[in-house]
Structure 1
Amino acid sequence: MKFRLATVAWSVIYLLLLLTLLTPLRIITVFLLIVPGAVLFSSLPFKGFLVHVIPVLLIIALLDVYSLLPAIYFLIPSIMMGRIYKKGGPAFQALMTGMGIILAELLVVLFIATYSFGFDLSQYLRDQAAISASIVQQVLSANPMFSNMNWTAEDTQKLGTMLIGKIPYVLIMTSFILAMITHALARPALSSLDVPVRKMKPAREWRLPRALIWYYLLAIVIEWIAGSSDSSWIQMVSISMLPLIHACFIIQTIGFVYFWTHSRKMSPVIALLLSLVVLVFQPLRIIGIIDLAFPLREAITRSKK
């Protein structure tokens, strides 16, 4: 009975979070929307999950049908992460799966907005840069202290280019933060429901799938296609895929650094400092690529013997 009441409570929490989409609180609560679905999917049979979730979605549809779209949007990563938790999969796998699904959904939304509604994100950011430049110019003109400073059209263009260049990192970081918050909250919640969730592996055991090398080659091909295409969506996919894969290679490199220092019985502080170096000098991700493509760790283990 306690278990049933707990899952009903999570359904109520899910409904309340979805209702906040109609209020200014959505700026905060949007980061929590994946959690209830992941908890319910992990702790219930599929039919029980539907019994808990469908009434919530129906209530939302009756109150505001447009809120049903974000509800379904966040339910997809909930199910995918919950599926891994239910099977007892690695926490890192759940985290990366959630991040990948969220990022893919963001790109799909951008695709629909581009081709169905004629939305051009790059042009929108350039327009925002022009508006910001106009405000800056007015402030400079109104203040005698800055009378010698002028905001030129070239400065506006640079600002627009900088904003466009930040898009992939914003998409990736948003996906990562959403997945991380979900895992951080879902794990203790599931533990209270007697659903075991594995902890994150030690950094020295971080190893990504070798198939990432093929995704890297695919991203390079997409980048080549985007270079000769006028499609803003294709260009967005291109500039989003490579930074994401590069981030994965950096994670792999950090995992290798911790593995190497651990095998040499070095202090964890040294591993941390070397990891910071990897984060600062990102071309060092080549180590992660080599570690994925070749049995580098096995070679180090054999050499010690």
Structure 2
Amino acid sequence: MPSKTKQLVESSLMLGTALVLLFLTKYTLLGAVAVFLVPLPFLLLAMSMTASSMVWICLAFGFLGWIVTDPFFAIYALLLAIMGAVMGMAYRKRGTALPAIASGAGIVFLSIIFMLAFMVYGLHVDFGALMKQAAQFKPSFMSQEQYDEAIAVAKMGLPSSFVMASFMFSIIVHGLARLIGKRLRKPVPALKPIREWSFPRSLLYYYFIAMISLLVFGGSMEGTFWKSAILNVKIMLDAVFTLQGLSFCLFAAYLYGWKRLTPVLVVCLFIFQPLATILCLVGIFDLGIRLRDKLETRVKRG
């Protein structure tokens, strides 16, 4: 089969698959799962096709999505297609997983911002009124003042929540792409094991600047943009250092041969909240005083 004919057949097949997944996302209870699968056909296509070809394929999918669903959902479908295409091109150019995951997360984050802006300025959705309605769901064990404070903190932390949700979405898509890519003989690069992850030490400076700013100037910045910005930086760095701490613990378990500790530690991280705080501190010490290097040297010396 000629190369162009083969690409045309493959593109048609992938478009059809994506439309079926889009239909499942919109009209069935499987939508919560199918939404992670919609970007995959475009991701796999982009690993072997040019950027210009992917632009036309994504636009065609957006148009077909308009016919199958509605204009609003067609925009949603187009954004998912763009995410998959960008991740696929990043895999092809870089040959590693992390740049592709970061690129996908960036597209998801921008998509969230775009959709929120469209809902406010296009559909005239009043999020202020929605937040007032949320007051009806106040738990009985919380006072109104505590509930209002919790809502205010949640509103300030929305940007960091969007960033972390974007990365989670991109990581799930990456994992599914790895599974399906193996079966279709289109291997997708793997992430390094978590025990080998290590973040730049420079993040410690940003973290301590954010902490000192909140402690010293937190009161005077109350209700300002800067308070929200610094709080979001701290939340994201907390998540980064928690991952660093988890990486160190898994590295230590690997060095000592404690294979059974790995799944227990990962499960406990999601069950016991104090563990996240402990891991965050461990991650800070790991970056600050090179705990990993010291432990490795000690183990090698016996």
Is TM-score (shorter-chain normalized) higher than 0.5? yes
Once the two structures are overlaid, the 10-residue window that deviates more, 9-18 or 22-31, is: 22-31
Spell out, residue by residue over 1:179-211, the C-alpha distance to the aligned partner (whole angstroms, 9 max, x if none): 233122212333344332223322321223445
- TM, length-normalised to structure 1: 0.69
2:171 to 170, 180, 194: 180
Query: Deviations along 1:148-181, whole A, 9 cap, x unmatched?
Result: xxx69x7345445445555648646643442233
Give me the whole-angstrom Cα distance separating, in 2, the residues matched to 1:238 and 1:124. 26
1:14 matched to 2:18? yes
TM-score (norm 2): 0.70
For 1:262, the equivalent position in structure 2 comes to 254
The residue number in structure 2 matching 1:189 is: 180
Does structure 1 residue 282 correspond to structure 2 residue 287?
Answer: no
For 2:189, what is the secondary structure of its paired residue?
coil
Instruction: Note if 1:70 corresponds to 2:62.
Output: no
In angstroms, what is the RMSD of aligned CA positions?
4.2
Partner SS state of residue 44, structure 1: coil
Show the counterpart of 2:190: 199
- Provide closer, same or farther for how the CA distance between residues 215 and 96 of structure 1 changes in structure 2, counting only shifts above 3 A: farther
More deviation, 112-121/166-175: 112-121
User: How far apart, in 2, do the equivalents of 1:214 and 1:8 lie?
Assistant: 50
Give the letter for the 2:178 counterpart.
R
Is 1:247–2:239 an aligned residue pair?
yes
CA distance in 2, matches of 1:226, 1:52: 52
Q: Given the superposition, is the C-alpha separation of residues 123 and 162 from structure 1 closer, same or farther in structure 2, using an over 3 Å criterion?
A: farther
Deviations 1:240-288 (A, max 9, x none): 443332122111111111222323x241224555564796333321221
Q: Secondary structure at the match of 2:277?
A: helix
Structure 1 residue 118: deviation in Å? Answer: 7.9
Report the alpha carbon displacement of residue 122 of structure 1 after superposing the two structures with TM: 6.4
Out of 27, 32, 48, the position equivalent to 1:43 is: 48
Structure 2: segments with no counterpart, 5+ residues = none
Structure-2 separation of matches of 1:156 and 1:290: 39
**Alignment partner of 2:260: what SS?**
helix
Distance 2:241 2:230 in 1: 17
What's the secondary structure of 2:188's corresponding residue? coil
Aligned partners of 2:209 and 2:87: how far apart in 1?
A: 25
Paired amino acid for 1:243: I
Matched pairs, number: 285
Q: CA deviation at 1:117?
A: 8.0
Larger relative contact order (C-alpha < 8 A, sep ≥ 6)? 1
- Whether 1:84 and 2:75 are equivalent positions in the alignment is no
Contact persistence 2:58–2:82 (CA under 8 A): no
For 1:120 and 1:219, the matched residues in 2 are separated by: 32
Pair 1:279–1:34, CA change in 2 (3 A): farther
CA distance in 2, matches of 1:110, 1:227: 30
Take 1:227 and 1:101, find their aligned partners in 2: how far apart are those partners?
35
Aligned CA distance change for structure 1 residues 289 and 94 (closer, same or farther; 3 Å): farther
CA contact (8 A) 2:61 2:77 kept: no
5+ residue gaps, structure 1, are 137-150
CA contact (8 A) 2:51 2:89 kept: no
Offset of 1:55 from its aligned partner? 1.8
For 2:17, the aligned partner's letter is I
Cα distance in 1 for partners of 2:192, 2:213 equals: 33
Contact 2:46/2:86, CA 8 A, preserved across alignment: no
The 3-state SS of whatever aligns with 1:187 is helix
In the TM superposition, residue 56 of structure 1 has moved relative to its aligned partner by 1.7
> What is the match of residue 296 of structure 2?
301
> Residue 21 of structure 1 contacts residue 67 of structure 1 at CA under 8 Å; is this kept in 2?
no
Q: Give the Cα–Cα distance (whole angstroms) in 2 for the partners of residues 239 and 118 of structure 1.
A: 29
Give the Å deviation of 1:214. 5.9
**1:246 and 1:90, CA in 2 relative to 1: closer, same or farther beyond 3 A?**
farther
User: How far apart are the structure 1 equivalents of 2:230 and 2:113?
Assistant: 11
**1:235–1:177 distance in 2 versus 1, CA, 3 Å:** same
Aligned runs of 1:114-153 on 2, under 5 Å?
121=127, 124-130=130-136, 132=137
Structure 2 CA distance for partners of 1:210 and 1:196, relative to 1, 3 Å: farther
1:199 match: secondary structure = coil
Q: Is the 8 A contact 1:203 1:255 kept in 2?
A: yes
The change in CA–CA distance for 1:203 and 1:22 in structure 2 (over 3 A counts) is closer
1:33 correspondence with 2:38: yes
